[in-house]
């Protein structure tokens, strides 16, 4: 991420945890008032090497979108761990598809 900038937020998003365990590693979940790089504003970011996932709090009124972004960034982290080399379109499709699967079948994956 070239010239990445963000401002951490004091706001919280209901249902979004402060940490998320992905592939056996606890990632810090950072909520931000803004995140941007040279290509513009970002709704979500992951940093594999520093171990954090970021979500822009502008999505806080849409719990589904916030959770899809969290899942999307977690899939990026899984992809890095597994070295599968997924492209952005595949990550988007997997996050949307897996989220819908879990949400539409809540009794199947209860732990
Ligand atoms: Zn992405």
3 state SS for the chain: CCCCEEEECCCCCCCCCCEEEECCEEEEEEEEEEEEECCEECCEEEECCCCEEEEEHHHCCCHHHHHHHHHHHHHHHHHHHHCCCCCHHHHHHHHHHHHHHHHHCCCCCCC
Q: How far does the centroid of ligand 1 lie from the alpha carbon of residue 26, in Å?
A: 19
Q: How far does the centroid of ligand 1 lie from the alpha carbon of residue 12, in Å?
A: 22
Q: How far does the centroid of ligand 1 lie from the alpha carbon of residue 106, in Å?
A: 25
Interval 79-95: pLDDT, tens: 999 999 999 999 999 99
For residues 10 and 2, give the distance between their C-alpha atoms in angstroms, rounded to a whole number.
25
Contact 53, 27 (CB under 8 A): yes
Over 70: is that where the pLDDT of 1 sits?
Answer: no
User: For the chain, what is the mean pLDDT?
Assistant: 96
- pLDDT, residue 2, reads 76
For residues 32 and 79, give the distance between their C-alpha atoms in angstroms, rounded to a whole number.
23
Instruction: Give the predicted TM-score (pTM) of the model.
Output: 0.94
Interval 11-34: pLDDT, tens: 999 999 999 999 999 999 999 999
Q: How far does the centroid of ligand 1 lie from the alpha carbon of residue 34, in Å?
A: 16
Q: How far does the centroid of ligand 1 lie from the alpha carbon of residue 28, in Å?
A: 17
Q: How far does the centroid of ligand 1 lie from the alpha carbon of residue 38, in Å?
A: 15
């Amino acid at each position: 991420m070239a010239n990445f900038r963000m401002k951490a937020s004091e706001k919280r998003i209901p249902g979004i945890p402060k940490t998320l365990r992905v592939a056996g590693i606890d990632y810090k979940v950072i909520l931000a008032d803004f995140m941007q790089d040279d290509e513009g504003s970002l709704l979500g970011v992951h940093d594999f090497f520093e171990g954090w996932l970021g979500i822009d709090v502008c999505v806080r009124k849409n719990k589904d979108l916030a959770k899809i972004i969290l899942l999307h960034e977690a899939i990026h982290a899984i992809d890095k761990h597994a070295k599968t080399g997924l492209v952005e379109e595949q990550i988007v499709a997997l996050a949307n598809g897996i989220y819908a699967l879990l949400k539409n079948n809540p009794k199947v994956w209860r732990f």
